[in-house]
Amino acid sequence: MRAAALRLALWNALALLLVLAAADAAFYVIAVGSQRDQLAELAGTPIGDAAIRSFARTLVIAMALANLPILALAAAAAYALSLMAVAPLAASLERQRRFAAQASHELRTPITVIAAEAETALRSGDQVEARAALAAIVEEALRMGRLAGDLLTLARPAGESAVTLEPVDLQEVAAATVRRFAEAARAGGVSLARDGGEQFAPVLGDRERLLALAGNLVANALRATPAGGEICIGVRAEGGQVLLEVRDTGRGIAREHLGEIFEPFVRIDAVDGQGGAGLGLAICRWIAAAHRGTLAAESETGAGATFTLRLPLHTS
């Protein structure tokens, strides 16, 4: 990054040097022209010619001394501005590099399993063992398919064109999510309930994407909440926005992790559990951004967590 900024600063300094050289040349011509009569009187004698050379030399040195501080300050300013300009690009390239490396790592595991199981199926003379190996291959292939789909989602810009926008009632999304996870909550001894009544809460959105977002948040809450705990999903209108909140009484998330839980491939036990690729919350934030909304988290270790989706209220 510093090398790129230095190159930009040097190019800027060179451009400024050319501008100053052109300005100095124009100033030199004007200055000499203003003294033409006096210089003409001195020309032709040794003393006069020496005086003319001295005048020209003094003029050039004065212009150079005046330009040096300008050039130095401009170069320093150009370097600082170049650092500021290059920093976001460098950070973006680093995120892309890390994303590609992590994606490759995630894909390598199922590929290795598929290769091993295929070899087992080919070599095995036992039909039962061969069928078990093929079943494992299908399972890993499906996992790769889901991972590839998630990666393609995150690779797309989160603009409105990425989702189908139509009127959706977030209350209905919350109710459907509670019904979907009711059995899993009962099996885990966790209370799962809605909060916010039945008041209509319309937004412009993609119902399936919003269901995926709410479902991911509730699934994470179920993994983080022990038996006897509570999970509440609520919807309310506030200041021209509709808020969907998922609150749990689970083990919470350390404050130092709140800034990174929405990054791809970040695994935190309280958020993603074991075995996930760490893409769930990254996709949730992508869905929120595609709906011109935001997704934020509040939590402390041992104090549960609250995830809040904010979307513009649809009034027409």
pLDDT digits (tens, 9 = 90+) for 209-251: 899 899 989 999 998 899 999 999 999 988 889 999 999 998 8
3.30.470.10, 3.40.30.10, 3.30.565.10, 3.40.228.10: CATH of 161-312: 3.30.565.10
* 165, 206 contact by CB (below 8 A): yes
Letter for the amino acid at 306? T
Burial bucket for residue 96 (CB in 10 Å: 0-12, 13-18, 19+): exposed
Least confident piece of the model among 41-55, 200-214, 221-235: 41-55
Give the long-range contacts of residues 56-64, CB within 8 A, separation 24 or more. Answer: 56/32, 59/28, 59/31, 59/32, 60/28, 63/24, 63/27, 63/28
pLDDT digits (tens, 9 = 90+) for 101-117: 666 766 777 788 788 88
pLDDT of residue 104: 72
238-264 core/surface letters (b: 16 or more CB in 10 A; e: else): eeebbbbbbbbbbbbbeeebbeebbbb
* 207, 238 contact by CB (below 8 A): no
CA 311 – CA 289 distance, rounded (Å): 9
The residue-averaged pLDDT of 296-314 equals 89
193: confidence class by pLDDT, cuts 50, 70, 90: very high
pLDDT of residue 49: 58
Q: What percent of the chain has pLDDT over 90?
A: 23
* More confident call, 120 vs 249: 249
pLDDT of residue 273: 47
What letter would DSSP give residue 244?
Answer: E
Find residue 195's DSSP bridge partners.
234
Q: Which residue shows structure tokens 């934030």?
A: 285
CA 30 to chain centre: 55
Q: Of 242, 254, 247, 214, give the one whose Cα is nearest residue 231.
A: 247
* More confident call, 98 vs 218: 218
**Average pLDDT score, the chain:** 77
**Domain segments of the chain as ranges:** 1-155, 161-312
User: Strands, E, within 111-256: which ranges?
Assistant: 166-169, 191-195, 202-205, 230-238, 241-248
* More confident call, 79 vs 119: 119
What letter would DSSP give residue 313?
Answer: P
181: confidence class by pLDDT, cuts 50, 70, 90: very high
Please check the confidence at residue 12 and state whether its pLDDT lies above 60.
yes
Please check the confidence at residue 48 and state whether its pLDDT lies above 60.
no
Least confident piece of the model among 59-73, 110-124, 152-166, 222-236: 59-73
Please check the confidence at residue 24 and state whether its pLDDT lies above 80.
no
